[in-house]
């Protein structure tokens, strides 16, 4: 569904210093798969997502998306408009033809039904991030991009949101690409894991995770984490 071939992405600082962020980065995402990118801090993961999202076009290479071209994103911050309710924030992202579509099938599994008329200031961070997830899925995207959506949450809240994300994703399948520093998170969620090198980013290993998510108990997740560490 997504074919990435970035030959070079170099930034130039104010003093003229060149910083090569990405070089010879190549990977493909299968249709309706869930892929996690894992790599060291500052290696170019978020830069890669920005290029895929079309927010950064100053690179040499090619990114090809198939399907209807609809892409949605979930960022580290929920980015909800404070003067609009949860439901208004979600509907604001919809095209005119979908403005009145029913959303209960998204609200219910995410636990948003009781708070759909709340304003962002009335939500916990966990609920705000659930609203951001609902907004992304409401677009029925061909490609869903997630940039560390559970960072800074406590472990119990993050685990609950991971479960909810997979529940919604399995009910609304799409091709998902998620950046994370958390190898355990990748082991819990992913069908495929892309391991990035230090900057400039390139793929040093691709791991396929064949164990169904429902069968990934603590022992299996630990075994996948060990595979990740040994592949770096």
Give tens-digit pLDDT for 104-143.
999 999 999 999 999 999 999 999 999 999 999 999 999 9
Q: Is residue 148 part of a domain?
A: yes
CATH number at residue 157: 3.40.50.300
Give the model's confidence band at 160: pLDDT under 50 very low, under 70 low, under 90 confident, else very high: very high
Average pLDDT score over residue span 20-27: 94
Report the percentage of the chain scoring pLDDT > 90.
80
Measure the CA–CA gap between 141 and 66, rounded to whole angstroms. Answer: 12
The angle subtended at Cα 105 by Cα 49 and Cα 130, nearest 5°, is 45
Residue 189: name the closest of 227, 162, 215 by CA: 162
pLDDT band with cut points at 50, 70 and 90 for residue 16: confident
A 10 A CB-CB count for 160 gives 16
Mean pLDDT of the 14-21 span: 89
Q: Has residue 150 been placed in a domain? A: yes
Mean per-residue pLDDT of the chain = 93
Q: How far apart are CA 95 and CA 11, in angstroms?
A: 34
Domain for residue 174, yes or no? yes
- Asked if residue 106 is part of any domain, the answer here is no
pLDDT band, residue 65 (cuts 50/70/90): confident
Q: What are φ and ψ of residue 24, in 5° steps?
A: 55, 50
| Tokens (6 digits) for 141 | 């995207």
pLDDT for 188 beyond 90: yes
Name the pLDDT band for 87 (thresholds 50, 70, 90): very high
Domain range for 169 is: 2-70+141-231
Give a yes or no: residue 105 inside a domain. no
Q: Count the domains in the chain.
A: 1
pLDDT at 152: 84
pLDDT of residue 41: 86
Give which of 188, 215, 198, 73 is closest to 132, Cα–Cα.
73
Please enumerate in sequence order all residues whose Cβ is within 8 A of that of 101, keeping only pairs 6 or more positions apart, or say none.
94, 138
The H or E element that residue 62 is part of is strand 60-65
Instruction: Output the pLDDT for position 226.
Output: 94
Over residues 129-140, the pLDDT tens digits come to: 999 999 999 999
DSSP 101: -
Residue 17 lies in a domain: yes
Q: Is residue 79 part of a domain?
A: no
**Sign of torsion over alpha carbons 170, 226, 148, 127:** positive
Question: Is residue 30 classed as helix, strand or coil in its secondary structure?
Answer: coil
Does residue 114 lie within any of the structural domains? no
pLDDT at 6 over 90: yes
The structure's pTM equals: 0.92
């Amino acid at each position: 569904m997504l074919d990435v071939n970035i030959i070079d992405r170099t930034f130039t600082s104010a003093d003229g210093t060149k910083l090569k962020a990405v070089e010879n980065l190549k990977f493909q995402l299968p249709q309706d798969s869930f892929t996690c990118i894992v790599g060291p801090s500052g290696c170019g993961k978020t830069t890669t997502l920005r290029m895929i999202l079309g927010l950064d076009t100053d690179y040499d290479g090619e990114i090809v998306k198939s399907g209807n071209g609809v892409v949605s994103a979930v960022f580290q911050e929920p980015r909800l408009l404070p003067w609009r309710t949860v439901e208004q924030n979600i509907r604001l992202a919809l095209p005119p033809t979908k403005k009145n579509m029913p959303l209960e099938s998204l609200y219910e599994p995410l636990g948003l039904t009781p708070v759909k008329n709340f304003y962002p200031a009335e939500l916990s961070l966990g609920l705000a991030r659930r609203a951001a997830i609902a907004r992304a899925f409401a677009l029925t995207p061909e490609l869903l991009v997630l940039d560390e959506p559970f960072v800074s949450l406590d472990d119990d809240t993050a685990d609950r949101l991971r479960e909810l994300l997979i529940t919604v994703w399995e009910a609304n399948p799409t091709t998902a690409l998620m950046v994370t520093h958390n190898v355990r998170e990748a082991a819990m969620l992913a069908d495929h894991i892309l391991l990035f090198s230090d900057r400039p980013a390139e793929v040093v290993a691709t791991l396929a995770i064949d164990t169904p998510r429902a069968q990934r108990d603590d022992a299996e997740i630990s075994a996948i984490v060990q595979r990740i560490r040994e592949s770096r």
